[in-house]
Chains A and B, each alone.
Chain A
Amino acid sequence: EVQLVESGGGLVKPGGSLRLSCAASGFTFSSYNMNWVRQAPGKGLEWVSFISSTASYIYYADSVKGRFTISRDNAKNSLYLQMNSMRVEDTAVYYCGRRSGPNTVNGFDIWGQGTVVTVSS
Chain B
Amino acid sequence: IQLTQSPSSLSASVGDRVTITCRASQDISSYLAWYQQKPGEAPKLLIYAASTLQSGVPSRFSGSGSGTDFTLTISSLQPEDFATYYCQQLVTYPLTFGPGTKVDIK
Interface residues of A (CB under 8 A from B): 35, 37, 44-47, 50, 59, 61-62, 95, 97, 100, 104-109, 111-114
Q: Which of B86, B94, B97 meets A59, CB within 8 Å?
A: B94
How far, in angstroms, from A30 to B54 measured CA to CA in the complex?
22
In whole angstroms, what is the CA distance A117 to B97 when docked? 21
- What separation, in Å, do the CA atoms of A45 and B41 have in the docked complex? 12
Interface locus among B15-23, B42-50, B67-75: B42-50
Q: Is the CB of A109 within 8 A of B54?
A: yes
Binding site for A on B (CB under 8 A): 30-31, 33, 35, 37, 42-45, 47-49, 52, 54, 86, 88, 90-91, 93-100
Secondary structure call for the B interface: loop
A residues in contact with B52, CB < 8 Å:
105
Closest A residue to B31 using CB positions: A104
Q: Are the C-beta atoms of A100 and B49 separated by less than 8 Å? A: no
Q: Which of A50, A59, A111 contacts B42 (CB 8 A)?
A: A111
Which residues of chain B are within 8 angstroms of A114 by Cβ–Cβ distance? 42
Q: Within the complex, what minimum Cβ distance (angstroms) separates A49 from chain B?
A: 9
Q: Report chain B residues within 8 Å CB of A113.
A: 42
The answer on a CB contact under 8 Å between A105 and B99 is: no
The smallest C-beta distance from B43 to any residue of chain A, in angstroms, reads 6
Residue in contact with A109 in the complex, picked from B37, B45, B95, B97, CB distance below 8 Å: B45
Given contacts A45-B97, A107-B54, A113-B42, could you give 4 more A-B pairs where the C-beta distance is less than 8 Å?
A105-B90, A107-B33, A111-B44, A114-B42
Decide if A100 touches B42 in the complex (CB within 8 Å).
no
- A44-B86, A100-B48, A114-B42 given; A105·B31 CB < 8 A: yes
Contact B91 A111 (CB under 8 A): no
Whether the Cβ atoms of A50 and B45 lie closer than 8 Å is no
**Docked CA distance A50–B96 (Å):** 12
CB-based contact A105/B95 at 8 Å: no
